[in-house]
Chains A and B, each alone.
Chain A
Amino acid sequence: MAQNDLPLKDITVCDFSWVGAGPIATNILGQLGADIIKIESRSKPEVLRHGYPFKDGKPGIERSGYFANRNPNKRSISLNMTMPEARDVVVRLIKKSDIVINNFRAGQMEKWNLGYEDVKKINKDVIYVTMSIQGDDGPQSHSAGFGVTLNALVGFTYLTADPDGEPFGTGTSYTDHIAVPSHTVFGIMAALLHRDKTGEGQRVEVPQAQAAICLKPLDVMDYAVNKRIQQPLGVRDPNAAPHGVYKVSGYKKWISIAVFSDNQWCTLKKAMGNPDWAEEDMFGTTQGRLDNQDLLDRKIEEWTMIQDGTELQYRLMGSGVPAGMVQDARAMIEDPQLAQHDFWAYLDHKEVGLTLYNRVPMKFSKTPAMMKTAAPLLGEHTQDVLTDFLEYSDAEFETMKAKKIFD
């Protein structure tokens, strides 16, 4: 499969997005062939270029793995948007773009006269994507926020917790990774199909909070109708027991086990050597196991805690009980199933050398996603994009450079 056969080979993205959900969305488009031109600024580098981890722990704007993993296969141009000439470059780029995307706070693009109404005048067929935290209008549309606060606002933090503890959350800015980019990419693709038919561009608005709630609708639905405020369950499940995370041999090593049927329970009992306690009547049905979960979990952990977790995982999975080690990053990199799918990719970065990226988790039989280049250096492609793609002359480029347009 040559690069020029990928589904999005003819699509150019003028990418103002930074930090989280925006770059993650354009990363997916890029792996399927779109030309992503990331607009950065040397005088105000994108926040994640300053974010840990750094190669060998040494900070530097070209050394962040946090930034790199979501920005492979992209071209970076550096523009100082406070200079009028920088906007001229953007205008030229927008004329050649199919998609213009940003995830700024509502109103930022308008300050540069690059709101949808302005951009439509530059290129009326363009698909203009906004991804503000809470949408472009409304009483809280201008609130600043971070991934962690967005996850709190939409309910992930409250319900992802131990029943007896405080709200916890997923330990990540989860909504940035799946809910927001997926609705963004889906909306963009729908808009491209619409443009194919009608020749018309449009605006796609992705309010991040709404996209997040769409992937966890039940707490608000349950309250609206049943007036029930759903409560956190830790790692438990209302329909299954045992359903938990159990210590195995080693530090920070746990195995997850989930039993959804009496059959699976019998298989688990057998794996445990059919101990007497497991034959008690109270454990004979799912309801009984749910009602006696504290005792059940304690008994199971007494059995797991002295075992090798990986060996136990294979024994349980092989006999038909859903089980899996709580894998840390190292175990993930060594995971045989992901390796078989070629999920990880080492890309050679100009400053930090071979470093690890993940591919999209989809195998396309005819147009497999491609990893071409590591994350770009800041402004690495400014000259290429301007003189080649945007057809500025070398003299024009040098003049702009002297005027510090690219800082």
Chain B
Amino acid sequence: MRNNNDDDDNTLSDIRVLDLTGGVGEYTAKLYAHIGADVIHVEPVTGDPLRNKGPFYKDLVDENGGMEFLYCNIGKKSLALDLSDGEGKKILKKLCKTADVLIESFSPGHMDDLGLGYETLAKINPKLVYAAITPFGQTGPYRDYPFSDLTLMALGGFLFLAGNENEKPVRACGEQAFQMGAAYAAMGSMIALYHARHTGEGQFIDVSMQACVATALENAIQWYDLQGVNRRNVGYEAGLGVYRCQDGFVCVVAAFGRTRAMWENFLNWIERDGAENLDELRNEKWFEPEYRKTDEARSEFKKRFEEYSAKRTKAHLYDESMKNRCVVFPVSDGKDIFENAQFNYRDFFKTIHHPAIDADVYFPAYGFEMSGLDVEIKTPAPTKGQHSFELLEELGYTESDIEGLLKGGAVYGAK
């Protein structure tokens, strides 16, 4: 039984993915689990380092309780394997014969050094799609340099945009350089898998996280190329951006270029809802984006709007703006997202029971939905080596072979 979801009807359950990532790129193979593919997380016998990263479930430090690990590994199997060991290498090679896609995020050249590089594995399985996520790619002057999410965001040009004028920038939450690498590895490996299914030809996909980050610069490169300007944050303008309200902050878009109707509609709505002293904002000059960008305009709008918004909640402003065809959204924190009516209406959040920590793991379930594919993930993130035994049996190892491998340390797992 290869399908992790015990769902024989699922047409994509014959895709097998080997997930060798650790810490960076674990979301890639999660997307495959989401469509019902058979995903095997090959982790070190000492455990995936992501297991040790907080926050933890109920704040209890536990190798099965790390939230990011729990999230990224839902629906995956675990095979704990020592790839520096000769027997471990043999097992991986056998497994590659059965696989369609391999994802890894080791340093460039690490798999080659182990004797498990793409060229070797492609000889075993020419159809194999092999995606490698690295900080700077497999070649080039930065190839072997150390990295972190922050430095990749900086070198990828993204960090510069998250600041006004000459202020220092802030970093996007959630290690987005790593997430961007994972996202592109998912797209690239899927496109290559489609190619492999049609032609029998597998290939290597080199994903550079720095380059991934550099795809997310909006129009900054073109600002420089076409107008010689190094832009930073957009929306440093009256009527655009974040304003204080009674219980936090809201994000407002009341102006767009010279669009008169939008501004007037906005003022009319807040006035009906009790805003006062808006006459100044109805002056002709407010339709000029250049005026709205001045310090004077920004502080004037802020003062007038916040006099009104200070007595209204995020929820009130969101609901009422929608009814009045204006655009005011909550600046959500984790609690707001948890309580959001739309997400809950759509059953976006699910729980799955995890016996090892005896808890119902809560998670955002899906970023896309397919009408023709009925996959419900029924298994939580695996414990370390949870599926080692059954996978080795599938590869033809006998019970006594497996006992020997466990004792010898090439494999970790329990029957």
- Annotate A133-177 by CB proximity to B: 1 below 8 A, 0 otherwise: 011011111111110111111111111111000111111111001
Residue pair A327, B325 in contact (C-beta under 8 Å): no
13 contacts between A and B (CB under 8 A): A65-B221, A135-B346, A169-B162, A172-B162, A182-B183, A182-B187, A215-B179, A226-B55, A226-B58, A256-B154, A332-B221, A358-B215, A361-B212
With known contacts A172-B218, A240-B148, A326-B159, A201–B333 Cβ distance under 8 A: no
B88: interface (CB < 8 Å): no
Instruction: With A53-B219, A166-B242, A194-B12 as known contacts, state yes or no: A216 contacts B174, CB within 8 Å.
Output: yes
Let me know if B157 is at the binding interface, CB within 8 A.
yes
> B148 touching A217 by the CB < 8 A rule?
no
A148–B240 touching, CB < 8 Å: yes
Q: Is the pair B140, A209 in contact by a Cβ cutoff of 8 Å? A: no
Q: Are B214 and A343 in contact (CB under 8 A)?
A: yes
CB neighbours (8 Å) of B341 from chain A are 138-140
The digit string for A178-212, where 1 denotes a CB below 8 A from any CB of B, is 11001111110111111011101111111101111
Chain A residues, CB < 8 A from B225 = 53, 65, 329, 333, 355-356
Q: What residues of chain A lie closer than 8 Å to B154, measured between beta carbons?
A: 245, 254-256, 324-327
A 361-386 to B, binary, CB cutoff 8 A, 1 in contact else 0: 11111110000000000000000000
Q: Smallest CB–CB gap between B55 and chain A, Å?
A: 5
Contact B180 A219, beta carbon cutoff 8 Å: no
Cβ of A7 under 8 Å from chain B = yes
CB <8 Å contact, B327 and A149 = yes
Closest to B326 in A: A144
A residues near B139, Cβ cutoff 8 Å: 340-341
Complex interface: chain B residues within 8 A of A143 (CB): 322, 329
Binds B, one of A54-62, A72-80, A281-289, A391-399: A54-62
> Contacts of A53 on B, CB cut-off 8 Å?
219, 222-223, 225-227, 229
**7 residue pairs, one from A and one from B, having the closest CB atoms:** A65-B222, A202-B372, A361-B211, A152-B251, A159-B173, A171-B233, A182-B183
Contact A235 B151 (CB under 8 A): no
Q: Is B334 located at the chain interface by the 8 A CB criterion?
A: yes
Tell me if A402 counts as interface (CB < 8 A to partner B).
no
Please classify how large the interface on chain B is, using the bins under 10, 10 to 19, 20 to 34, 35 or more: 35 or more
A237 with B150: CB separation less than 8 A? yes
CB-CB nearest in chain A for B325: A144
Q: Do A28 and B71 touch across chains, with their CB atoms under 8 A apart?
A: no
Evaluate contact between A364 and B188: CB separation under 8 angstroms: yes
Whole-angstrom CA separation of A207 from B204 in the bound complex: 31
Question: How far is B153's CA from A226's CA once the two chains are assembled, in angstroms?
Answer: 29
Asked whether, in the complex, the Cβ of A160 is within 8 Å of the Cβ of B58, the reply is: no
Alpha-carbon gap, A172 to B184, bound state (A): 19
A-B contact number at CB 8 A: 502
- Of the 9-residue stretches B190-198, B269-277, B406-414, which lies at the interface with chain A? B190-198
Provide the residues of chain B in CB contact with A172, threshold 8 Å. 158, 161-162, 216-218, 234
Q: How far is the CB of B160 from chain A (nearest CB, A)?
A: 5
B208 at the interface (CB under 8 A from A): yes
- Please tell me which one of the listed residues A214, A223, A332, A367 contacts residue B195 in the complex, with CB atoms under 8 A apart: A367
- Number of A positions contacting B (CB below 8 A): 155
8 Å CB contact of A200 from B184, B198, B345, B372: B372
Q: Is A115 an interface residue (CB 8 A)?
A: no
CB-defined contacts of A84 to chain B, threshold 8 Å? none
**Given A361-B215, A365-B204, A149:B329 Cβ within 8 A:** yes
Using Cβ atoms and an 8 Å threshold, which residues of chain A touch B161? Answer: 170-172
Q: Which residue of A lies closest to B360 (CB)?
A: A225
A321 touches B146 (CB 8 A): yes
CB pair A209–B343 under 8 Å, yes or no, is yes
Nearest-neighbor residue (CB-CB) of A219 within chain B? B334
- Residue B356 is within 8 A (CB to CB) of chain A in the complex: no
* C-alpha spacing A234/B10, complex, angstroms: 44
Which one of A229, A254, A338 lies within 8 Å of B335 (CB-CB)? A229
- Contact segment of B163-171, B290-298, B384-392: B163-171
Contact call B230/A160, Cβ cutoff below 8 A: no
Residues of the B chain whose Cβ atoms lie less than 8 Å from the Cβ of A134: 342
Contact (Cβ within 8 A) B342 A135: yes
Would you call B147 and A203 a contact (CB within 8 A)? no
Question: Hey, which chain B residues are within 8 Å of A154, CB to CB?
Answer: 332, 337
B253: CB under 8 A from chain A?
A: yes
Contact between chains at B232 and A219 (CB < 8 Å): no
Surface stretch bound by A, among B79-87, B103-111, B362-370: B362-370
CA distance in complex: A404, B68 (Å): 55
Q: Is the CB of B170 within 8 A of A148?
A: no
